[in-house]
Structure 1
Amino acid sequence: MSSEQSVKKAAELLKQGATMLSEACPLCNSPLYKLRNGEIVCPVHGRVILAKDEEEERKFQRELLLDSAEKILVESLNGVVEKLKNDPMDSEVIMQVIRYLDSLERLKRIRESSPEKQ
């Protein structure tokens, strides 16, 4: 999201009755806003969860990073699958699909082995 878009989103939040807080988003350092329903949001990322301590913040950052990596892998896999539709026998494209699927499987195992899940 561009700076101009985040400013427009922040202005829209204020118009809707949100209150700007003194805290900043842990990801982008934009000011956080408290909605009338009590939810705290960042104009850039949407919903924000405030961490109680550094350990909790690390857990959230780790999850955000894993979510971001998964999103990129899935988007890339979709692009490669489209190539595969054009030429189902292209061994190079098939290997790319296998690598993306392997990466997604590893990501799943990382999530399952995380200390928060145990």
Structure 2
Amino acid sequence: MPRMSFLVGLAAGYVLGARAGKQRYEQIKTVSGKVWQSAPVQKQVAVAKESARTKAAPVVADFVADAAKATSEKLRASRTVPSQVSAGRDRTTGGDPWVASAGARDDDPWSSATRR
């Protein structure tokens, strides 16, 4: 039932808005612009921005850090190191650790991601 009343209200608003035309739209736009620029509204906007900066930012930062840590752990777990590579130097490719041909597997996501 609430959905039906919403649809009826939406339809009524559309019909009335279409009848009012562009002049009424411009009037509403002007008034809403004045309200948005008023001192009380802008004061609340500043409060909301500060709240987001001090309360939400640390939560988001923690979420991003946790996601980055989880992703790095998954990459490390899926990485396979060829037996020819020791201390970052590949004996079969002249010491270039980024050449993935020596001992790399095609199904290894780390090797395929770092292959030149």
| TM-score (ref. length: structure 2) | 0.29
**Structure 1 or 2: larger strand share?**
1
Q: Larger radius of gyration, structure 1 or 2?
A: 2
**Structure 1 or 2: larger helix share?**
2
| TM-score (ref. length: structure 1) | 0.29
